Structures are given as C-alpha cells and as structure tokens.
Amino acid sequence: MALTDEQLERYSRHITLKEIGVRGQKKLLSSRILIIGAGGLGSPAAMYLAAAGVGTIGIADSDKVELSNLQRQIIHTTEDIGKSKAASAEDTINALNPDVTVNTYEIRVNSTNILDLIKDYDFIIDGTDNFAAKFLINDACVLAKKPFSHAGILRFTGQLMTCVPDKSPCYRCIFEAPPPKDTVPTCREAGVIGAMAGIIGTMQALEAIKYITGQGELLTGFMLTFDGLKNEWRKIKLPERVKHCAVCGEHPAITVPVDFEETECELCKE
C-alpha cells in the first residue's frame, strides 16, 4: 500500500527515523494490537499506539469510568464518568487518529474467551490490575504463541517485561503462582502516583512498536524497574526459561487457560 500525503505528513517524524521509515510505518498501519485493561497502563499505551498509526487496536475492559480513575487513566475525561471504559477509549482514539480501527470488547476476560480474543492480534498488552488476570494472560499468550508486555505500578515504582513465547521466560517462570489473597497491598490501599502509569504504560507501547517494526532490543529475558522517587532505572537479567514452568516448561501442567481467584496486584493500574 502507498501512504497518502496526509499519512506522510502525520507520520513524518517516524518516517525520518532510519529504523522506521516508510516500510516500518506500513508495518504499523498493518498491525493489530490488543490492550487488555483500559486503565492506568492501558490508557497511555493505547494513545501512543494510536498516534503511531497502529492499524487496529483492540480494547478489552468490562468496567465503567469512575471519578477516581481520572488521576491516572488519561484516555478518559470527566464527561466520560459512567461510560464504558472501552467505549470511552474508542472515542479518544477516533478523535486522535482516524487511520485506526478500534475493536471494543466490553467483557470480563476469562479462561473461556481469552484464546478467541487474542487469536487475531500480533501483540498483547497486559494493562490489568490483578494477579488472576496477569497469570491468565500469560498462560493464554504462551499457549497461543502470542508475544505480550507485562507491566505493573505501585506508589512511585513500576516494572515491565516482554515475553515472546519459545524465546524468553514467561511471567510464570518468574512468578510461579498467584500469591494468597490479602498477602500484598493493592494500589487502592497503598496509592499510586498518576505519572507512573504514563511512564510505564508508554514503555509498553514502545515495546509493541519495536516488536512490530523489528527494531531495537525487546525486554525479553529482562525486568525493567523504575523508582520514581530516586529516578533510578534497573534492568534485571531474568533466569532462562524454567524447565519445570507449569505452562512453558518441558512438561507443562497447564495446557488450557485456567481462571484463578482474583487478587489485586501490588503493581497495578488501580
């Protein structure tokens, strides 16, 4: 496909980059990225992916916009309170870039629908707020061979990693199982600085763009952490794929997605 004059202008700063150029921009325009969770992490990720010209963006979220969301979930506005988060995100993306097709899924993602949900997408972004969802996304993406970005935030800290199945350790290789209920603080209890969602969510968008265009080094095999109070980044080398991992190991015990009891993540969007 040939880029229109309007697209050449809109994406001119991408096209100027030797790592992207016209060819890379065409890859973005042809790509399909699913964001599960239109909250603190999903909001900036969705907006930067839309601005970048990702051709199709899926938004999966069953919640409605609440006043307390607006401190960090920047894809929503005061006028959106009470509206479906997926619909609110779609409106913002449509206003930002008409090149983008938005697919909305106003559903609670679970073991019965996740494989069908992710099957047509090139890259998955985990913007969820609880361990049950994070393990479910990990397991489904590994089983379906879908690359994905995990991230979480709490107080003034954040973390992210990228998993490419068969090429890097998965989330379950690092965190074997969800923690017992009520053993970790939630962001509702401990708080989170809103800007941290922007920092980490935008990094997730960058990982997706690098994967689609085939440029740079992904956070595969690494956990990147950020301490906002100290302005310190740490890139932590992760263990190799764990042979006894329940989903990607040599003898996997998990062969289909499984629902876990929901416990809010200590590094989350809420």
In the sheet with 101-105, reading across from the earlier edge strand, the strands are 101-105, 56-60, 32-36, 123-126, 148-154, 157-163, 222-227, 232-237
The b-or-e profile of 158-171 (16+ CB within 10 A means b, else e) is bbbbbbbbeebbbb
**Model confidence pTM above 0.75:** yes
How distant, in Å, are the alpha carbons of 6, 7, 46, 126 from that of 102?
Answer: 20, 18, 10, 17
Residue whose pair of structure tokens reads 């929901």 in the numeric block:
262
Q: Which CATH number fits domain 17-237: 1.10.20.10, 3.40.720.10, 3.40.50.720, 1.10.10.10?
A: 3.40.50.720
Residue 213 CA, distance from chain mean position: 17
pLDDT in tens, the chain (270 residues): 899 999 999 999 999 999 999 999 999 999 999 999 999 999 999 999 999 999 999 999 999 999 999 999 999 999 999 999 999 999 999 999 999 999 999 999 999 999 999 999 999 999 998 888 999 999 999 999 999 999 999 999 999 999 999 999 999 999 888 766 665 666 667 789 999 999 999 999 999 999 999 999 999 999 999 999 999 999 999 988 889 999 999 999 999 999 976 544 444 433
DSSP state of 155: B
Distance, CA of 248 to CA of 250 (rounded, Å): 7
What are residue 51's phi and psi, to 5 degrees?
Answer: -65, -30
Distance, CA of 178 to CA of 261 (rounded, Å): 9
* Residue from 262, 265, 268 nearest 108 by CA: 262
Taking the domains of the chain in order of start, what are their residue ranges? 17-237
Residue 243 CA, distance from chain mean position: 26
Length of the chain: 270
Residue whose pair of structure tokens reads 């909001």 in the numeric block:
43
Q: Please, are residues 124 and 137 in contact by the beta-carbon 8 Å criterion?
A: yes
Distance, CA of 66 to CA of 39 (rounded, Å): 11
Distance, CA of 138 to CA of 225 (rounded, Å): 19
